[in-house]
Chains A and B, each alone.
Chain A
Amino acid sequence: MEKTYKRDFSTWREVPIGGIIPWPGTTAEVETHAWRAYRPVINQDKCIRCRLCWVYCPDAAILEVDEEYTTPSGRKYNISYRVDLAHCKGCGICAYECPVKAIEMIPEER
């Protein structure tokens, strides 16, 4: 299919026929953030790295990254959590489930 269709198209003449997706594994390329009204912001000091937000996120938009972090009180973590803002739809499940209220939903201003 890569021979028939270009990956980047800009007009109706070039879109793949019938709205098909001509190759697999493209979900990650589709940005789904446009309708987000609130953005989750993780407080790295409050976060206890329990991974519950990562588990609950319906869009796999919580990223676990190998990034060391030391809190002001001296607690050291080997990992951190970040938000994939290209895919986060702003549903707020992460903030609701967070047991230590380390995630705040901030209004998006576009």
Chain B
Amino acid sequence: MSLAQVVERKVERIAATGNHAAAYATREVDIDVAAIYPITPQVQIAEKIAEMVANGELDAEIIPVESEHSAMSAVVAASAVGARAFTATSSQGLELMHEILYIASSLRQPVVMALATRALSAPINIWNDYGDVISMRDTGWIILFSETVQEVYDNIIQAYRIAEHPDVLLPVAVTLDGYILSHTIEPLELVTREEALKFAFKRPRGYRPVLDPDDPITIGPLAAPNWYYEIKRQQIEAIRNAGRVVREVGREYGKIFGRTYDLLEPYMIDDAKIVIISLGATASLVKAAVNRLRKQGEKVGMVKIRLYRPFPAEDLIKVIEDVDAVGVLDRAVVYGSPTEGPLFNDIAVTLATRGIHKLLVSFVHGLGGRDIFVNDVIAMYKKIKRFAEEGRSPEKTVFFGVKGEEV
């Protein structure tokens, strides 16, 4: 498709919150089943889907559930009979789902979840950080981070295509930063249902094993020590290979709809000496900081990680190969880890296992929704530069912006 054709596509542009964008995306891909237990800041996703079903805009079954544990169980079961299933949650809701998160990925059910990220209790806090999504890091789900409302929408449409791909067959979680994306109104370009269903097409029933009385199978039986290990090894291979599919799907999306997605997004990286790596909506802030620093002549770039699991290690190495120093912004912590930044730990391992030595700085910021601003990112940049001048990586994570610690 040529650029002219892309431009000629008639696009409806509306104003929408991230929550509504998530709900609209489920309408476009014509989900069959939604089971969502309401929790702040995700509630409007459930409300909007219920509204669309009531209006006849979306022909889906809504399963009223009494908890998130049941919501996740219901979508796993719906997916097991071949339905296109969707759920959404936040924070404590995700923790209550936790047991079934592993079951969804291990039973290889292509369910999609929108996760409006929110800090974990205690103390109870409804604002944005990535404590919840990081807690599902090791559950075998594919995890896509969104930077804007448009990305929430595009990611959910792509998520079905990725999840249901025969080489993948894994659940996908799409994040939207609590309040920052979930409740903020931004411009949103819609895709028509026809276009969306042509892209994220529904595959013929039976292309993957589903429950069917005419061809009975057992899903979820016991596996004894003689085969459990092999089943896990196969699952590891599936998520390892998922990166390739995520890339193909993102490119095809770009060809059709004009917005191309990759596993990560480098920005101003070409001659950069220092690079800042971040996730989700924080990336916009880092881009703004890079713009401001570039005007002052600083050789700085940034990388946004879009695909968090499986971690795009090879892609990252390619873009940060030539930089001197790397700062990683984490909005979550791994308690008791040698360095507490979860994304930082992935990046440190990626470099170390390839024998690449770089000056690394781990920053934690914004826990429990504490805002950071462009000037804060600039302060972090200056700190990285100071370490680079001294020629040493700090051994410990820097807790940026916490009262009582100097940066």
CB contact between A15 and one of B109, B209, B227 (< 8 Å): that residue: B227
Tell whether, in the assembled complex, residue A24 and residue B233 are in contact, meaning their CB atoms are under 8 Å apart: no
| CB neighbors of B among A1-50 (8 A) | 1, 4, 11-13, 15-24, 26, 30, 34
| Docked complex Cα distance between A20 and B169 (Å) | 13
* Shortest distance between the CB of A28 and any CB in chain B (Å): 14
Q: A1-B215, A23-B216 are in contact. Are A18 and B230 (CB under 8 A)?
A: no
- Within 8 Å CB of B106, what residues of A? 18-19
Tell whether, in the assembled complex, residue B234 and residue A4 are in contact, meaning their CB atoms are under 8 Å apart: no
* B219 contacts A by Cβ under 8 Å: yes
- Within 8 Å CB of B235, what residues of A? 18
Tell whether, in the assembled complex, residue B233 and residue A12 are in contact, meaning their CB atoms are under 8 Å apart: yes
* Shortest distance between the CB of B76 and any CB in chain A (Å): 11
* B223 contacts A by Cβ under 8 Å: yes
* B218 contacts A by Cβ under 8 Å: yes
A13 nearest CB neighbor, chain B only: B234
- Within 8 Å CB of A22, what residues of B? 209, 217
**How many interface contacts (CB-CB < 8 Å) are there between A and B?**
60
CB contact between B217 and one of A11, A12, A23 (< 8 Å): that residue: A23
| Docked complex Cα distance between A15 and B230 (Å) | 7
| Docked complex Cα distance between A61 and B183 (Å) | 61
A2 nearest CB neighbor, chain B only: B215
* B309 contacts A by Cβ under 8 Å: no
A24 nearest CB neighbor, chain B only: B216
B: contact size bracket: 20 to 34
Most buried by A among B107, B219, B234, B237: B234
Q: A4-B209, A15-B227, A16-B209 are in contact. Are A21 and B233 (CB under 8 A)?
A: no
Tell whether, in the assembled complex, residue B108 and residue A18 are in contact, meaning their CB atoms are under 8 Å apart: yes
Kindly supply a per-residue 1/0 record for chain B positions 209-252, scoring 1 wherever the CB is within 8 Å of any chain A CB and 0 otherwise: 10000011111110110011111011101000000000000000
| Docked complex Cα distance between A54 and B375 (Å) | 79
- Within 8 Å CB of A21, what residues of B? 217-218, 221
CB contact between A18 and one of B219, B228, B229 (< 8 Å): that residue: B219
- Within 8 Å CB of B215, what residues of A? 1
CB contact between B218 and one of A15, A17, A20 (< 8 Å): that residue: A20
Tell whether, in the assembled complex, residue B217 and residue A15 are in contact, meaning their CB atoms are under 8 Å apart: no
CB contact between B108 and one of A4, A17, A26 (< 8 Å): that residue: A17
B223 nearest CB neighbor, chain A only: A19
- Within 8 Å CB of A15, what residues of B? 227, 230-231, 234
- Within 8 Å CB of A16, what residues of B? 209
- Within 8 Å CB of A19, what residues of B? 106-107, 220-221, 223, 227-228, 231
- Within 8 Å CB of B231, what residues of A? 12, 15, 18-19
Tell whether, in the assembled complex, residue A12 and residue B218 are in contact, meaning their CB atoms are under 8 Å apart: no
* Shortest distance between the CB of A59 and any CB in chain B (Å): 14
| Docked complex Cα distance between A18 and B79 (Å) | 13
Q: A1-B209, A4-B209 are in contact. Are A20 and B217 (CB under 8 A)?
A: yes
22 pairs, CB–CB < 8 Å, chain A vs chain B: A1-B215, A1-B217, A11-B230, A12-B230, A12-B233, A13-B234, A15-B231, A17-B209, A17-B234, A18-B107, A18-B109, A18-B209, A18-B219, A18-B231, A19-B106, A19-B107, A19-B221, A20-B107, A20-B209, A20-B217, A21-B218, A26-B218
Q: List 9 tightest A-B contacts by C-beta distance, closest first.
A: A12-B230, A18-B108, A21-B218, A12-B233, A19-B231, A18-B107, A24-B216, A19-B223, A15-B230
Add 4 more A-B contacts to A18-B106, A18-B107 (CB < 8 A): A12-B230, A18-B169, A20-B218, A34-B224
Residues of B within 8 A of A (CB): 106-109, 169, 208-209, 215-221, 223-224, 227-231, 233-235, 237
